[in-house]
């Protein structure tokens, strides 16, 4: 059985008048899988969150402030945010969560069944020694050459999380948004260097 640990009680979130475009994931993870593969050659960021989770919302705000707002114009970065109903969040909570990123770079996906989090738990090897930990409140960076073959998503080049069930495991570092931002900067710099030399 998957352990649902991470975020605390629900707090207030910013309001929004306009719902961003939100794609509903089907049983084959479409359209996320297709979008991910179409964006091959970009640095890709994927965030798994509950849109009502205070820790997830803090993470989204930090990603907006420390990562996305500091990217140079035209940076080779794509962003996917997958929302999951772990502590009662719903698609109605997505607008307020989405606006914390302060960007139009992000694509938003709703997984009402929570199946994607269970799938990602295994894809990321979220085993804490005694049980599988459900994948949410997780922040990932994929390299430009990553491809989603088969049914399971590929492993990211780097990930961080805010899950109590994985706390203290050096294989899965706890989220530090400034460290995450530095990792994104390094990968973008490598991308720019590679394309400058071509």
Confidence (pLDDT) at 19:
62
What pTM, to 2 d.p., does this model score? Answer: 0.88
How far is the C-alpha of 150 from the C-alpha of 50, rounded, in Å?
A: 26
**Closest by CA position to 58, among listed 139, 125, 121:** 139
Do β-strands 22-24 and 138-142 pair in parallel, antiparallel, or remain unpaired? unpaired
The 3-state DSSP class for residue 1 equals coil
The single residue listed with the structure tokens 């352990």 is 3
What domains are there in the chain, each with its CATH number? 22-197 (3.40.30.10)
Instruction: Count CB atoms within 10 A of the CB of residue 58.
Output: 17
| pLDDT for the residue 12 | 41
User: Would you state the torsion angle of the CA atoms of residues 21, 143, 83, 69, taken in this order, to the nearest 10 degrees?
Assistant: -60
pLDDT at 104: 85
Rounded to whole angstroms, what are the CA distances from 18 to 15, 34, 96?
9, 26, 9
**CB 159 within 8 Å of CB 140:** yes
Could you tell me the mean pLDDT of each successive run of 10 residues in the chain, 198 residues long?
Answer: 45 50 95 97 97 96 95 93 96 95 92 96 94 97 95 94 92 95 94 64
Of 43, 38, 47, 32, nearest in space to 143 by CA: 43
Tokens of 183: 């990792």
Q: Are 136 and 115 in contact (CB under 8 A)?
A: no
Pick the closest to residue 58 from 159, 158, 175 (CA basis): 175
């Amino acid at each position: 059985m998957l352990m649902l640990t991470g975020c605390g009680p629900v707090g207030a979130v910013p309001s929004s008048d306009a719902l961003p475009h939100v794609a509903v994931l089907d049983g084959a993870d479409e359209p996320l899988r297709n979008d991910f593969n179409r964006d091959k050659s970009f640095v890709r960021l994927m965030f798994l969150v509950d849109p009502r989770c205070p820790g997830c919302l803090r993470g989204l705000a930090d990603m907006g402030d420390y990562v996305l707002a500091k990217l140079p114009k035209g940076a080779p970065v794509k962003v996917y945010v997958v929302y999951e109903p772990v502590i009662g969040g719903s698609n109605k909570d997505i607008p307020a969560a989405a606006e914390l990123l302060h960007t139009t770079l992000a694509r938003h996906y709703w997984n009402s069944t929570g199946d994607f989090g269970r799938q990602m738990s295994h894809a990321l090897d979220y085993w804490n020694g005694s049980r599988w930990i459900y994948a949410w409140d997780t922040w990932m960076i994929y390299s430009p050459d990553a491809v989603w073959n088969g049914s399971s998503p590929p492993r990211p080049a780097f990930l961080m999380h805010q899950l109590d069930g994985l706390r203290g495991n050096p294989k899965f570092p706890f989220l530090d948004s400034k460290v995450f931002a530095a990792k994104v900067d390094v990968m973008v710099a490598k991308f720019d260097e590679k394309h400058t030399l071509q």
